[in-house]
Chains A and B, each alone.
Chain A
Amino acid sequence: RKEVEQDPGPFNVPEGATVAFNCTYSNSASQSFFWYRQDCRKEPKLLMSVYSSGNEDGRFTAQLNRASQYISLLIRDSKLSDSATYLCVVNPTASGYSTLTFGKGTMLLVSP
């Protein structure tokens, strides 16, 4: 089983739609979880951290389910500028060092 698995997509949605991505991770001892965003031919950038209680940042909501070992990202009211690849990221260790394991990403295409 891969350490971090994501549906590669692409998810094609119209502007204004709500879209959700899921991600599963294999290491039950994983401590930290993140969503990164990567635009075409650019570097990955942190979108948001994922907390156990769930957290929201504007139109973006992240959830963590430790029992099922999955993470979700919900985007409401999609904008054209949301088109990108969304990387699910896990820190698999409890050591505190920020070694991150990246999923291969889910591509989102928002159309007019």
Chain B
Amino acid sequence: DARVTQTPRHKVTEMGQEVTMRCQPILGHNTVFWYRQTMMQGLELLAYFRNRAPLDDSGMPKDRFSAEMPDATLATLKIQPSEPRDSAVYFCASGLGRGRETQYFGPGTRLLVL
């Protein structure tokens, strides 16, 4: 049963620290998405990649967030420096990138920045 995996599942850190979240998409999926979910804003698209190339990261605060796909099996989302307002659940999703194709979500990383 193929699944998207994310690590860590939970992260508590102090303001100013670097946070790195990792995602392994489903094998064969060529599109990877990073979302952030909060009670106030719901699910927001931060960035997405197609065939490892970044297609859109307009939803991401550029000064502190960065997203990369060093290879087809790993996507990373980094926050440096982290701030309390970054506290949220960060989901990675993967898919085949076609119009009606569903996205499969990972279990998420729950981030708390103190």
A: residues with CB less than 8 A from B are 31-32, 34, 42-46, 49, 87, 91, 96-105
- B interface size (C-beta, 8 A): 24
Of the listed stretches B13-21, B66-74, B76-84, B91-99, chain A binds B91-99
The reply to whether B42 and A98 form a contact with Cβ atoms under 8 Å apart is no
**Chain A contacts of B24 at CB under 8 A?**
none
B1 at the interface (CB under 8 A from A): no
* Chain B residue at minimum C-beta to C-beta distance from A100: B103
The reply to whether B91 and A98 form a contact with Cβ atoms under 8 Å apart is no
The reply to whether B102 and A34 form a contact with Cβ atoms under 8 Å apart is yes
Q: A34-B102, A46-B102, A103-B42 are in contact. Are A98 and B108 (CB under 8 A)?
A: no
B: residues with CB less than 8 A from A are 31, 33, 41-43, 45, 48, 50, 55-56, 91, 95-103, 105-108
* Chain A residue at minimum C-beta to C-beta distance from B6: A43
| 27 pairs of residues in contact across A and B, judged by CB atoms under 8 Å | A31-B99, A32-B99, A43-B91, A43-B106, A43-B107, A46-B103, A49-B100, A49-B102, A87-B43, A91-B100, A97-B97, A97-B99, A98-B31, A98-B95, A98-B96, A98-B99, A98-B100, A98-B101, A98-B103, A99-B48, A99-B56, A100-B45, A101-B45, A102-B42, A103-B42, A104-B41, A104-B42
**Chain B contacts of A45 at CB under 8 A?**
105
6 A-B pairs with the lowest CB-CB distances in the bound complex, closest first: A104-B42, A43-B105, A102-B43, A46-B102, A96-B99, A32-B100
Shortest CB-to-CB span from A33 to chain B, Å, is 9
Cα A32 to Cα B98 with chains together (Å)? 11
The reply to whether B31 and A97 form a contact with Cβ atoms under 8 Å apart is yes
Cβ-neighbour of B107 out of A42, A91, A102 (below 8 A):
A42
* Chain A residue at minimum C-beta to C-beta distance from B106: A43
**Chain A contacts of B56 at CB under 8 A?**
99
**Chain A contacts of B106 at CB under 8 A?**
43
